[in-house]
Amino acid sequence: MGSALRTTSPGHDVILYDGHCRLCGGAARQLQRWLGKTGTRLLSFREDGVLAAFPGVTEDRCEQALQLVLADGRVVEGLEALVLALGQRPLGRLLRVYYLPGLRQLLDAGYRIVARYRFRIAGRQCPDGTCAVHFK
């Protein structure tokens, strides 16, 4: 796994996504449907107190990529987080192609581009009026 970061163990998997991003919010809703009743929780890192529960998982990390906090406290980010989260679901084993040399690097590069420009791609939805700070 890509990241060596560890944080407080939540006892179940937690996916931290950007709740102010329309693309991210839509993806999170679809991901929740795919995950079903696996016990994985999806939380917007922008909600009050969410990041406080996971020391070391910073707002900057969350701005760069989706974060998967595994039940034991290990943190994985980006596309690999999705591969691991969905890996136990039916057909999830097919996602292991992500680890093929070259393909992983290509997919990760695509993910970084989409993550960087997500507000331009799909717009923002900021209930508290803070969207201007996200659009640099």
Residues constituting the chain: 136
CA gap 81, 87 in Å, rounded: 10
Residue 5 has pLDDT above 50, yes or no: yes
| 136 located within any domain | no
| 33 located within any domain | yes
The total domain count for the chain is 1
CA gap 35, 17 in Å, rounded: 15
Q: How confident is the model at residue 130 (pLDDT cuts 50, 70, 90)?
A: low
Nearest to 124 by CA among 26, 14, 15, 47: 26
Q: What is the mean pLDDT of residues 47-74?
A: 96
- 27 contacts 101 by C-beta, under 8 angstroms: no
| 72 located within any domain | yes
The first and second tokens of residue 55, run together, are 């020391």
Q: What is the pLDDT of residues 69-122, one digit of tens each?
A: 999 999 999 999 999 999 878 778 889 899 999 999 999 999 999 998 888 887
Residue 2 has pLDDT above 70, yes or no: no
* Enclosing domain of residue 48: 14-126
CA gap 11, 95 in Å, rounded: 24
Q: What is the pTM of this model?
A: 0.84
Cα Rg for the chain, rounded, in angstroms? 15
| 8 located within any domain | no
Q: In this structure, what is the dihedral angle of CA atoms 15, 67, 52, 34, given to the nearest 10 degrees?
A: -10
| 68 located within any domain | yes
